Every structure is written in C-alpha cells, then in structure tokens.
C-alpha cells in the first residue's frame, strides 16, 4: 500500500438520505389573502382627508370673510313674479347682483345666493341652502304690484312674533326701512314694516294676512318660507311697485336697483356693526 492513495482502497461512501424532503424544508408559497373591508377603509381614509381639508377651508372662510350674507332674488326661472311696467324677477335679480357686487367689493363678506339668475328653485330648496350656509342674515328681495297702479312705496317683512329670530329680524327690518327712506322711498303702513301670514281657508287654500309691526300678537299661522328655520335675522323686502310709474322710475331701473342695493348694503353694515370700508382714490 506504500505509495498508493489510501482513498483508492476506502469503501465507497453511501449517499446519505436527506432528513427532510425539499417540500418540508421550503414550505409552499402562501396565497395572498384579500383583506376584508379594504374598499371601506379606503373610503374612510378619503373622508378623513376630505374632512380635514373642508375643516381647513371653513377656518379660512371664517377669517377671510367674517360675515356671511344670504341673498334671495325672489321668484326666478319659470316664475316671473308680478308683471307691470317691468317684471318683478328682473328687479330682484338686478338688485341682488348689485348688492352682491358691493358686498364682494367690501372684501369682508361671503355671499350665498339662493339660486342662479334664471334658475327655477322652490322656496324649500332655497331655504335649505340658507340653513346649510349658517348666514349672519338673510335678505329676500321682491317687488309689489296692484291692479290699477295706485299702490306705491317700500315695505319689509321680518320673521314674525313667536319665531326665535323675530327680535333680530325686526331690528334689521327697521334699519332697512330707515336707509330706504333716506334713499327717497315712501314707506308703506306705519313704518314700512309689516308681518305676513297665510291663513288657511275652508276650501284648502290660504289667504294672505298682513298686519302692522305694532301688532305683536303671536298668530298660529304660517309665514313666508324663506324666513323660517334660520337662527339669524331674516327679512323679505318689497322694494317698490312694478305697476307704478313713479316707483319704477325711482327703484325699478338699473340705476334705481343700484340705489336700493346701496341702501341695503348700508343697513347690513349698521346691523352687523361693521365700519364702512374707506374709499381709496
């Protein structure tokens, strides 16, 4: 054996059997299980992000525009309102546009319109929009009419006695009447302020009942829908008679609507205790 490698005479090594099968060493790949409620979680995440963004937007709105004014141009769309020398809906939209421009130029007001010009919306829809916007005041602009053209002047209708927003609405109405009188309008009734009710009739219809502001009786009748459900001053104005030539010439032309808007703007400032913005040349 001298000179030979001992490995040549060694018995062959037996092939060892693996202790475990390959499948036992490497477990099979697990199928990926879909988590239940994945879509719901994603939707919840989107809502949280949106909520944070909307909350930030509200904070921005509060500091950028400390006052919110809700403007309602009466009638609209298929409902043209009273017809006379001019159309009521033309007057309401013209005046609302002029007042919105003044408020936005002021820079402190967020303006919420109940509807777009030419749009048809029910009183209920308009009122719900105002409730959601949480305004500091509501102003609904209308115009009067009669059959013979003898009626004239300005009057306004605040939330009626018994409503939670009655007192503040009455205060705002007094300012509106005062500033309109200063602008040259003739006030109707005792002081240009009345309360409006709808009295149910036996045939199922309703009859409008108007009383002077001195009548603080709490009647169990319905009132104008645009004045309800809000926790702020709410007043409906009848700017002039569209059937009276003198009234139309004063407050029913483009210039007249701008004059009325200026009076409403002054009343809004005084009611809110906001100083007029200094005019820069």
41 pLDDT above the threshold of 90: no
Residue whose pair of structure tokens reads 């303006």 in the numeric block:
111
45 pLDDT above the threshold of 80: no
- What is the pLDDT, as a whole number, of residue 254? 98
Stronger pLDDT, 11 or 108, i.e. the higher one: 108
Across the chain, what does the average pLDDT equal?
88
| Cβ neighbours around 57 below 10 Å, total | 10
Number of folded domains that form the chain: 1
Residue 74: which of 86, 91, 92 has the closest Cα?
92
Q: How many residues does the chain have?
A: 281
Measured CA to CA, the distance from residue 18 to residue 38 in angstroms comes to 44
Enclosing domain of residue 162: 69-272
Per-residue pLDDT reduced to its tens digit, 88-104: 999 999 999 999 999 99
Per-residue pLDDT reduced to its tens digit, 51-85: 666 454 444 454 568 999 999 999 999 999 999 99
192 pLDDT above the threshold of 70: yes
Measured CA to CA, the distance from residue 169 to residue 276 in angstroms comes to 21
Contact between 133 and 202 (Cβ < 8 Å): no
Task: Evaluate whether residue 263 is within a structural domain.
Answer: yes
Task: Evaluate whether residue 60 is within a structural domain.
Answer: no
Task: Evaluate whether residue 215 is within a structural domain.
Answer: yes
Give the pair of three-digit tokens for residue 235: 């007043």
Stronger pLDDT, 152 or 15, i.e. the higher one: 152
Q: Output b/e per residue, 105-116; b: 16+ Cβ within 10 A.
A: ebeebbbbbbbe
Most confident of 18-22, 48-52, 138-142: 138-142
Task: Evaluate whether residue 39 is within a structural domain.
Answer: no
Phi, psi at 68, each rounded to 5°: -120, 125
249 pLDDT above the threshold of 80: yes
């Amino acid at each position: 054996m001298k000179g030979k490698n001992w490995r040549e005479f060694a018995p062959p090594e037996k092939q060892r059997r693996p202790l475990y099968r390959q499948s036992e060493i490497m477990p099979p790949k697990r199928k990926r299980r879909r988590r239940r409620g994945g879509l719901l979680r994603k939707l919840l995440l989107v809502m949280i992000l949106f909520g944070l963004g909307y909350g930030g937007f509200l904070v921005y709105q509060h500091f950028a525009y400390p006052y919110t004014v809700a403007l309602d141009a009466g009638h609209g769309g298929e409902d043209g309102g009273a017809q006379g020398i001019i159309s009521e809906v033309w007057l309401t939209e013209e005046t609302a546009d002029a007042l919105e421009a003044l408020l936005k130029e002021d820079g402190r007001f967020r303006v919420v319109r109940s509807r777009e010009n030419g749009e048809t919306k029910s009183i209920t829809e308009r009122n719900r929009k105002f409730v959601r916007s949480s305004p500091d005041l509501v102003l609904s602009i209308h115009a009067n009419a009669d059959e013979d053209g003898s009626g004239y002047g300005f009057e306004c209708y605040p939330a009626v006695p018994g409503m939670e927003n009655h007192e503040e609405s009455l205060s705002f109405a007094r300012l509106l009447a005062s500033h309109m009188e200063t602008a040259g309008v003739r006030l109707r009734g005792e002081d240009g302020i009345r309360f409006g009710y709808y009295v149910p009739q036996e045939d199922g219809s309703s009859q409008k009942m108007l009383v002077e502001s001195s009548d603080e009786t709490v009647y169990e009748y319905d009132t104008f829908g645009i004045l309800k459900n809000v926790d702020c001053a709410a007043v409906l104005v009848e700017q002039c008679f569209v059937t009276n030539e003198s009234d139309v010439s004063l407050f029913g032309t483009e210039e007249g609507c701008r004059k009325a808007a200026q009076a409403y703007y002054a009343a809004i400032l005084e009611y809110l205790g906001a100083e007029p913005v200094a005019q820069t040349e």
